[in-house]
C-alpha cells in the first residue's frame, strides 16, 4: 500500500513501520475529510482516501496529527529536528541498563 501511496498517489514524506503509517505535512496544510467531518492534514486525507478506495478499514481514534507525535515510543519534533524518549521510557531504559551492567 505504501508503494501505491507514494508512487501512484504521490503522497510525499510517507513512511511505514509495521502496520503504522506516518509522515510530515506543512503546518496549516489541512483539508476537509468528509468521513470524519473534520480538517486533517492534506497528505493524511490522501492516504485515507486511498484506503477508502481500496476498502481498507481505518478508525478516527487512530488518526493522530500533532507537532510532536510519538512514533514507536519516541517523541519526534519535526520543527526542532529532535527525538526524545518520554520520561517513563527513559527511566525504564536506564533501569534495564543498570540491571544489565550490574
What's the predicted TM-score (pTM) here?
0.71
Give residue-wise pLDDT tens across range 19-73: 888 888 888 889 999 999 999 999 999 999 999 999 999 988 888 887 777 777 8
Banded pLDDT at 100 (limits 50, 70, 90): very high
> For residue 6, is pLDDT > 90?
yes
Does residue 97 carry a pLDDT above 90?
yes
Written as one string, the DSSP assignment of 21-88 is EEE---TT-EEEEGGGTEEEEHHHHHHHHHHHHHT----GGG----SS-EETTEEEETTTTEEE--HH
Q: Does residue 96 surpass a pLDDT of 90? A: yes
Amino acid at each position: 500500500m505504501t508503494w501505491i501511496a507514494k508512487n501512484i498517489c504521490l503522497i510525499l514524506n510517507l513512511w511505514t513501520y509495521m502496520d503504522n503509517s506516518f509522515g510530515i505535512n506543512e503546518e496549516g496544510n489541512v483539508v476537509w475529510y468528509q468521513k470524519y467531518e473534520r480538517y486533517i492534514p492534506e497528505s493524511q486525507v490522501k492516504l485515507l482516501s486511498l484506503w477508502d478506495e481500496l476498502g481498507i478499514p481505518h478508525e478516527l481514534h487512530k488518526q493522530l496529527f500533532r507537532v510532536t507525535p510519538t512514533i514507536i515510543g519516541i517523541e519526534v519534533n519535526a520543527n526542532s529536528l529532535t527525538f526524545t524518549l518520554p520520561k517513563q521510557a527513559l527511566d525504564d531504559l536506564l533501569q534495564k541498563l543498570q540491571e544489565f551492567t550490574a
